[in-house]
């Protein structure tokens, strides 16, 4: 009996064996799936955490409004946001100012600018010619910017000269370090351009191939870079819950192992606010030398750009619900995030929770500046398009006139005085464009719908 004849004779036994193997595989897959689901449920429900655990009412579910056309008013809102980028574009370099008429920018804001251009084009606010010119000129600039330690972009650049600068925009030939989170933000539009606009793939590659990642990602964790006391580079771990996972996702798409940074459960703990268990980071500033801000922005961006994952969907809704509940109990319209403000100290963190305190407003040094607690315009637009609840509609009505028609949107409204926070920034106007684009087209990075 030759091999072929033997194979035919044994085919019934082979079928049985394959069937048994398939059955075992299915059982193992189901068991693993059940274990994963059970672990996810324990994490989201806050097992081993004190207090009453808040669960989303599954009979109602988390609001997930479908994509829909913009109203005439919303289209006008988008056009107003684009005014910022007309006014603050630096023709000679291809970069855009982070703050109105101030010639400096971070990589976070450069990423926001690119997202603003992508959104404005999809919404029909700018022509294809303008879109291609803006994207190409910015990528050209990014491909030649001097890098800190010849590794990654500096924390700030002069937008008229492309020089590395300090935060006061004075020249810094060596640079002041890099932000892993900011670079992660920059990678979001890079991924969109590569997958959805392949004509820019070569320019994106020219930007990426210069970068070195041996210090920014180590052991699956992200690290920033700063100039230490001895003038040597130090690498502090960077990122807290919300921001850390948001930025890590774009590194991951770029092929970088950021397994540790992607995990929500390694430093997760809950803070009970109005009976809602808010996700917070157990790495406290007194020990880890960085604040664990719980703000709207990273969760909003996760939804607008990636379309949420199992954890971020739940955590984002909790962060949103706490703010809605504050309004229900106090009558104070609440949508908080970090923002530029129009007076000293010029930048503050309006938080749901940080450093052991609820609803605190602090500087990056931890100074209490509660007098500047405010309603954030970009947070309003973000929560509005993600959920479209009665509360988010009220917030939008509250902020609908917070703009200069020739300059763009203001950053918000101060709670204490009710006066507008007239800081006008790239990030606020870009996120408004992103949000309105999301309302019409859905998540920016989602390839399969």
- Average pLDDT, rounded, for the chain: 89
Residue 353's contacts (CB-CB under 8 Å, 6 or more residues apart) are 271, 273, 278, 280, 294, 359, 360
Q: Tell me the C-alpha distance between 98 and 424, whole Å.
A: 9
- Look up residue 8 and give its two tokens: 């035919």
Per-residue pLDDT at 284: 82
Chain centroid, CA 387 distance in Å: 17
Domain count, the chain: 1
Domain that holds residue 196: 65-441
Per-residue pLDDT at 54: 42
Q: Tell me the C-alpha distance between 392 and 435, whole Å.
A: 13
Per-residue pLDDT at 355: 86
Per-residue pLDDT at 10: 45
- Look up residue 272 and give its two tokens: 């009970």
Examine residue 27 and state whether it is found in any structural domain, yes or no. no
Specify the pairing of strand 217-218 against strand 221-222.
antiparallel
Examine residue 30 and state whether it is found in any structural domain, yes or no. no
Which residues share a beta bridge with 441?
Answer: none
Examine residue 56 and state whether it is found in any structural domain, yes or no. no
pLDDT less than 50: residues of the chain: 2-42, 46-59
Residue-level length of the chain: 449
Examine residue 260 and state whether it is found in any structural domain, yes or no. yes
pTM: 0.88
Contact 278, 352 (CB under 8 A): yes
Per-residue pLDDT at 186: 98
CATH number of the domain where residue 165 is located: 1.50.10.140
Per-residue pLDDT at 449: 55
Per-residue pLDDT at 35: 36
Examine residue 131 and state whether it is found in any structural domain, yes or no. yes
- For the chain, the farthest-separated pair of C-alpha atoms sits apart, in whole angstroms, at 95
Examine residue 224 and state whether it is found in any structural domain, yes or no. yes
3-state SS track over the chain: CCHHHHHHHCHHHHHHHHHHHHHHHHHHHHHHHHHHHHHHHHHHHCCCCCCCCCCCCCCCCCCCCCCCCCCHHHHHHHHHHHHHHHHCEECCCCEECCECCECEECHHHHHHHHHHHHHHHHCCCCCHHHHHHHHHHHHHHHCCCCEECCCEECCCEECCCCCEECCCCCECCCCCEECHHHHHHHHHHHHHHHHHCHHHHHHHHHHHCCCCCCCCEECCEEECEEECCCCCEECCECCCCCHHHHHHHHHHHCCCCCHHHHCCCCCEEEEEECCEEEEEECCCHHHHCCCCCECCHHHHHHHHHHCCCHHHHHHHHHHHHHHHHHHHHHCCCCCCCEEECCCCCCEEEECCEECCEECCEECCCCCECHHHCEEEHHHHHHHHHHHCCHHHHHHHHHHCCCEECCCEEEEEEECCCCCEEEEEEHHHHHHHHHHHHHHHHCCCCCCCC
| Phi-psi map region of 353: left, alpha, beta (phi>0 left; psi -120 to 50 alpha) | beta
Q: Kindly report, residue by residue over 59-102, the tens digit of the pLDDT.
A: 368 999 999 999 999 999 999 999 999 999 999 999 999 999 99
Contact 270, 278 (CB under 8 A): yes
Examine residue 39 and state whether it is found in any structural domain, yes or no. no
Closest CA to 108 of 347, 365, 283, 368: 347
Q: Produce one character per residue of 56-91: b if its CB has 16 or more CB atoms within 10 Å, e if not.
A: eeeeeebeeeeeeebeeebeebbbbbbbbbebbbbe
Q: Tell me the C-alpha distance between 209 and 165, whole Å.
A: 23
Contact 441, 90 (CB under 8 A): no
Examine residue 448 and state whether it is found in any structural domain, yes or no. no
């Amino acid at each position: 009996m030759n091999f072929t004849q033997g194979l035919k004779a044994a085919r019934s036994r082979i079928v049985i064996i394959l069937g048994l193997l398939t059955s075992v595989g299915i059982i193992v897959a189901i068991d693993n799936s059940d274990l994963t689901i059970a672990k996810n449920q324990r994490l989201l429900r806050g097992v081993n955490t004190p207090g009453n655990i808040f669960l989303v009412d599954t009979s109602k579910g988390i609001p997930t409004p479908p994509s829909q056309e913009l109203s005439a008013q919303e289209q006008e809102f988008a056009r107003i946001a684009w005014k910022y980028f007309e006014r603050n574009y630096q023709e000679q370099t291809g970069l855009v100012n982070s703050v109105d008429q101030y010639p400096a920018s971070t990589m976070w804001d450069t990423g926001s600018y690119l997202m603003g251009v992508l959104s404005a084009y999809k919404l029909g606010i700018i022509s294809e010619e303008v879109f291609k010119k803006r994207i190409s000129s910015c990528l050209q600039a990014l491909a030649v910017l001097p890098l800190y330690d010849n590794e990654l972009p500096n924390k700030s650049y002069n937008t008229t000269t492309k020089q590395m600068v300090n935060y006061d925009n004075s020249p810094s030939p060596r640079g002041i370090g890099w932000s892993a989170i900011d670079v992660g933000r920059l990678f979001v539009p890079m991924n969109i351009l590569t997958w959805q606009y392949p004509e820019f793939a070569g320019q994106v590659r020219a930007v990426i191939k210069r970068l070195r990642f041996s210090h920014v990602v180590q052991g699956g964790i992200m690290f920033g870079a700063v100039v230490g006391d001895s003038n040597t580079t130090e690498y502090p771990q960077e990122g807290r819950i919300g921001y850390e996972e948001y930025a890590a996702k774009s590194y991951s798409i770029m092929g970088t192992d950021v397994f540790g940074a992607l995990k929500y459960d390694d430093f997760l703990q809950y803070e009970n606010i109005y009976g809602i268990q808010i996700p917070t980071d157990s790495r406290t500033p007194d020990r880890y030398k960085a604040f664990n801000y719980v703000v709207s922005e990273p969760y909003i961006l996760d939804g607008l750009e990636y379309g949420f994952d199992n954890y971020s969907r739940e955590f984002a809704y909790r962060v949103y619900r706490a703010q809605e509940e504050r309004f229900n109990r106090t009558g104070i319209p609440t949508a908080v995030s970090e923002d530029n403000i129009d007076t000293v100290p010029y930048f503050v963190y309006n938080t749901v929770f940080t450093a052991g305190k609820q609803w605190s407003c602090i500087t990056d040094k931890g100074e209490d500046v509660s007098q500047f607690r405010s309603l954030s315009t970009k947070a309003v637009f973000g929560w509005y398009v993600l959920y479209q609840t009665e509360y988010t509609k009220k917030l939008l009505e509250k902020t609908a006139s917070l703009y200069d028609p020739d300059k763009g949107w203001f950053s918000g409204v101060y709670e204490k005085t009710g006066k507008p926070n007239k800081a006008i920034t790239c990030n606020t106007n870009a996120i408004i464009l992103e949000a309105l684009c999301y309302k019409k087209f859905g998540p920016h990075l989602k390839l399969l719908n």
